[in-house]
């Protein structure tokens, strides 16, 4: 047998082998995969909290897929803001909660509106095994819901998990000068359970993810859809990479900025409307 044949077979089987071993892309490729990864990571985080006898308090940042009717010409894919996003986010959150609570279904989830103007909702996924295994969630809470967040904290108690899903604040200072101290005490109890975020950094499309098993990861999705991992051995995987650190690393990994690469493409292939391909 030709010695090259086994190597060729191995290369063809490598993707299957990697999948079997649990390897996966840096970022979720479909909404379904994002939901599955959110469920797995959040369950692991809740277990970690409970094994440490700490109240499970968790952040989830979920990248909500754009509406199907969205096209490239749309300046704002969500012209209706949170009100337009809410039904999409609610449907996703119900799937996540049903997956996080063992032996439960979407029918076991109850909800109520906390603030209609601010599009904030409260959800409780009941466990058929024990009330202490229930998981509650706040959808789109913002600084104006601070008092309500405290009430819900007391109601949920230390045993049940509470998730803040797609928060509308970034830090304690967002709650105002007079409330930032109390807000910090409250928010310090929370840790990331799952995140899939996107930002623009140095003009590049950057995706950030957090999963309990691997921590924070970052990658650039280039103009061809290729994922280019952005990492540094000095970074702490438990801490979200800062913008400046990402920018410095992107300059190292991808020296040519996007506009320069586009200019090179134009020089090589001509303007898009002039191409015959």
Report the pLDDT value the prediction gives residue 277, as an integer from 0 to 100: 55
**CB burial string 95-128: b at 16+ within 10 A, e below:** bbbbbbbeebeeebbebeebeeebbbbbbbbbbe
Rounded CA separation 82/25 (Å): 29
Report the pLDDT value the prediction gives residue 8, as an integer from 0 to 100: 39
Q: Are 93 and 165 in contact (CB under 8 A)?
A: yes
Tokens 């440490």 identify what position? 52
Report the pLDDT value the prediction gives residue 25, as an integer from 0 to 100: 80
Report the pLDDT value the prediction gives residue 242, as an integer from 0 to 100: 97
144 is written with which tokens? Answer: 């104006």
Write out the chain's pLDDT in tens, 277 residues.
444 444 434 334 444 444 444 456 889 999 999 999 999 999 999 999 999 999 999 999 999 999 888 876 677 889 999 999 999 999 999 999 999 999 999 999 999 999 999 999 999 999 999 999 999 999 999 999 999 999 999 999 999 999 999 999 999 999 999 999 999 999 999 999 999 999 999 999 999 999 999 999 999 999 999 999 999 999 999 999 999 999 999 999 999 988 788 886 655 666 554 555 5
Helix (H) or strand (E) holding 187: helix 180-187
How many contiguous H segments (helices) and E segments (strands) does the chain have? 7, 9
Distance of CA 118 to the CA centre of its chain: 21
């Amino acid at each position: 047998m030709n010695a090259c044949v086994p190597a060729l077979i191995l290369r063809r089987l490598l993707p299957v082998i990697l999948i079997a071993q649990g390897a996966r892309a840096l970022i979720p490729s479909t909404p379904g995969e994002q939901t599955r990864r959110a469920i797995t990571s959040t369950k692991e985080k809740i277990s970690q909290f409970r094994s440490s006898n700490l109240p499970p308090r968790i952040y989830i940042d979920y990248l909500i897929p754009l509406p199907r009717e969205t096209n490239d010409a749309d300046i704002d894919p969500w012209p209706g803001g949170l009100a337009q996003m809410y039904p999409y986010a609610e449907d996703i959150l119900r799937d996540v909660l049903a997956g996080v609570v063992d032996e439960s279904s979407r029918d076991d989830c109850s909800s109520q509106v906390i603030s209609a103007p601010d599009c904030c909702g409260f959800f409780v996924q009941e466990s058929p095994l024990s009330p202490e295994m229930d998981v509650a969630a706040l959808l789109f809470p913002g600084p104006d819901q601070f008092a309500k967040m405290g009430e819900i904290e007391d109601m949920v108690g230390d045993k049940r998990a509470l998730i803040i899903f797609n928060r509308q604040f970034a830090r304690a200072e967002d709650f105002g000068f007079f409330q930032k101290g109390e807000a910090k005490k409250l928010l310090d109890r929370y840790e990331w359970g799952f995140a899939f975020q996107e930002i623009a950094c140095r003009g590049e499309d950057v995706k950030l993810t957090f999963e309990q098993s691997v921590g924070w990861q970052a990658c650039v999705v280039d103009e061809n859809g290729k994922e280019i991992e952005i990492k540094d051995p000095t970074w702490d995987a438990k801490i979200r990479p800062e913008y400046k650190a990402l920018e410095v690393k992107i300059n190292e990994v991808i020296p040519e900025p996007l506009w320069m690469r586009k200019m090179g493409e134009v020089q090589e292939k001509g303007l898009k409307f002039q191409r015959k391909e």
